Structures are given as structure tokens and as C-alpha cells.
């Protein structure tokens, strides 16, 4: 009986076919369309909480290596911050970066759309390999938000809705039942490395109570070893961490500590 092995080093995927009587019968580089896509861990979490390092805080001179290192250090998914210079002042990345990251690591990509016109970009990000797309309630609410969630689902991705620190949690109530994840911003979005806003934990507590068990509750901004504990206690189960992971030489240990795996 023969066997097939598929590997994914940097930037391409290879396949090796082996038969005991004949040895290696074929070595092939697979086209991009045959790249194996990672599972969506939001739908089937292997454990909770999930840790999502934000690639925005990585060294941009070696993004692929940084994503692979996050995977090696135990990250559950990669958080990718898309900023349009309009909804937020900063400009960051687009679908081409998502496509490159998909070749560099096997982590699912959780794309956080800080853009004024998410409808116009969801297809490109899903095609590029994103598995979750989160948009902001400040730009699409009511039926507009429900339609957008349906379109994201039709593209094969899960859908998250985020809210800024200044946005009341009541704005989410008419639509949050349809989302796979709610993302509470614990900084004003725009930059990595900002200070955590503890007052946002009231929203986390409220939402934990209101959401169904299958809905994930993510928190993003200023999460580090100290603030993670408070976020988990309030009910968050997906922690985004930018500077705390990528600007730290002890990445694997930090990810463990963020998850609450304290040394005994
Ligand atoms: C902020 C972004 C965050 C940010 C997190 O606007 O949405 O995802 O990269 O970075 P830290 O964890 O450093 O605050
Ligand atoms: Zn983010």
C-alpha cells in the first residue's frame, strides 16, 4: 500500500508519494489552489481560550517567518488588522498579505476589518485565505449588518462584529445572534502597543451573559499577561495580543501565560 505525504515549507506546498516496493514514486510542487487550508478553530475550538497574536506588531521585514514563529510558539490563529486610513487613521495591509501569510504558516487567519466599506472587501479577503472576517458595528448596523454576515457566511467564512470603546453595547443587540464572534475593542483602534482600557470589561461581562455557548467573545487591544487574567475572568475566550507576543523574545512562554497555563 502506498502513502502520500504533504508538507508546507515556506511559500509552496509539496507532495511526496511513496510505495514500499518502489520507494518514492513522485515528488510534486502543488499549485496554490491545492494548498490545504487550516481548520476554522472558532467553529471547533480545540481548547479555550484561544490566543490570536496580531501580525501588526510583528517585524514587517520578515512577515512570513514571524507568522511561522507564532505557529511554532503555540498560537491558535493569526489576527490580521486591516486599516483603511478612513475608519481609523492608520493604513496597514490588504488581501495580498493574507495570501502570502497563508503560504507561510498553517494558522487560520482572523481578519479584523477596520474599514468604512467592508462589503467591498470581504470577497477578496476570503479568496485570499481568511477564515474569519470581523467588521465594525459603527459602519454596518441593523439589516446592513445581517446582510453582511450572510454574505460572509456564503463565502465560507465565519463572521465577527466588533465595537469600539465609545460604542454602546446596546447597538449590538439586534444583530449579535447572527455572528460567530463578538470582538470588544479594549483600545481605540488604530495602533498596536496602546494601554488597555479596563472599563471595556463591563461590555465583556454583559456579552458573556447574552451570547450563546457556541459564540466566541474576543477582546483586542492592550492584552498582556497582566490584563489577560481580567479579560478571561470577565468572560472573554479569544485573546488578541500584538506587542505582548511579537515584541517579546519569550513568545512560547507568553502564549502559555496568556492562556492561563501558569507554572504550578
Ligand atoms: C488595534 C488592533 C489590534 C492591535 C493589538 O487597533 O485592532 O489588533 O494590533 O495590538 P496590542 O495587543 O499591542 O494592543
Ligand atoms: Zn485587531
To test the pocket of ligand 1, the residue of 78, 97, 242 to mutate (highest count of ligand atoms within 8 Å of its CB) is 242
CA of 23 from ligand 1 middle (Å) equals: 49
CA of 108 from ligand 1 middle (Å) equals: 18
CA 169/CA 212 separation, integer angstroms? 16
pLDDT at 37: 84
To test the pocket of ligand 1, the residue of 52, 54, 246, 254 to mutate (highest count of ligand atoms within 8 Å of its CB) is 54
CA 154/CA 23 separation, integer angstroms? 43
Closest-lying ligand 1 atom to the alpha carbon of residue 194: 14
> What would the grid cell of residue 27 be?
515528488
Q: How many CA atoms lie within 13 A of 69 on its CB side?
A: 18
pLDDT at 264: 53
pLDDT digits (tens, 9 = 90+) for 1-55: 455 444 443 344 556 566 667 667 666 655 554 557 899 999 999 999 999 999 9
- Which residues, 6+ apart, have CB-to-CB distance to 144 below 8 Å? none
Nearest by Cα to 219 from 43, 51, 47: 51
pLDDT at 21: 73
Mean pLDDT per 10-residue segment, the chain (264 residues): 45 58 66 71 98 98 98 98 98 98 98 98 98 98 98 98 98 98 99 98 98 98 97 98 98 97 66
Give the DSSP H/E element, type plus range, for residue 202: helix 201-210
Report helix angle 95-104 to 63-72, nearest 10.
Answer: 50
CA of 42 from ligand 2 middle (Å) equals: 16
Nearest by Cα to 128 from 104, 158, 96, 155: 96
Establish whether residue 189 lines the binding site of ligand 1, counting it when its CB lies within 6 angstroms of any ligand atom.
Answer: yes
Establish whether residue 187 lines the binding site of ligand 1, counting it when its CB lies within 6 angstroms of any ligand atom.
Answer: yes
Is residue 220 annotated as a catalytic residue, yes or no?
yes
> What would the grid cell of residue 95 be?
488581501
Q: What is the CA radius of gyration of the chain?
A: 19
Q: What are phi and psi of 204, to 5 degrees?
A: -60, -45
Nearest by Cα to 178 from 143, 203, 206, 204: 143
Establish whether residue 161 lines the binding site of ligand 1, counting it when its CB lies within 6 angstroms of any ligand atom.
Answer: no
Amino acid at each position: 500500500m502506498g502513502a502520500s505525504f504533504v508538507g508546507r515549507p515556506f511559500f509552496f506546498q509539496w507532495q511526496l508519494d511513496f510505495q514500499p516496493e518502489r520507494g518514492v514514486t513522485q515528488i510534486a510542487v502543488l499549485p496554490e489552489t491545492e494548498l490545504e487550508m487550516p481548520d476554522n478553530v472558532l467553529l471547533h475550538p480545540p481548547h479555550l481560550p484561544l490566543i490570536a497574536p496580531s501580525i501588526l506588531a510583528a517585524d514587517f521585514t520578515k512577515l512570513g517567518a514571524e507568522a511561522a514563529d507564532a505557529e511554532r510558539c503555540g498560537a491558535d490563529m493569526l489576527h490580521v488588522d486591516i486599516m483603511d486610513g478612513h475608519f481609523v487613521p492608520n493604513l496597514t495591509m490588504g488581501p495580498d498579505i493574507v495570501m502570502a501569510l497563508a503560504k507561510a504558516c498553517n494558522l487560520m487567519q482572523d481578519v479584523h476589518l477596520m474599514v468604512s466599506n467592508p462589503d467591498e472587501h470581504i470577497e477578496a479577503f476570503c479568496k485570499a485565505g481568511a477564515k474569519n472576517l470581523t467588521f465594525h458595528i459603527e459602519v454596518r448596523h441593523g439589516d446592513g449588518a445581517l446582510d453582511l454576515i450572510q454574505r460572509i457566511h456564503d463565502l465560507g467564512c465565519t463572521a465577527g462584529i466588533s465595537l469600539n470603546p465609545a460604542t454602546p453595547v446596546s447597538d449590538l443587540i439586534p444583530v449579535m445572534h447572527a455572528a460567530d464572534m463578538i470582538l470588544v475593542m479594549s483600545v481605540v483602534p488604530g495602533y498596536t502597543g496602546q494601554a488597555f482600557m479596563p472599563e471595556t470589561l463591563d461590555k465583556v461581562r454583559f456579552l458573556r451573559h447574552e451570547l450563546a455557548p457556541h459564540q466566541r467573545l474576543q477582546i483586542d487591544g492592550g492584552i498582556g499577561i497582566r490584563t489577560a487574567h481580567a479579560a478571561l475572568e470577565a468572560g472573554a475566550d479569544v485573546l488578541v495580543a500584538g506587542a505582548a507576543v511579537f515584541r517579546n523574545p519569550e513568545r512560547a512562554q507568553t502564549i502559555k501565560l496568556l492562556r492561563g497555563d501558569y507554572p504550578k
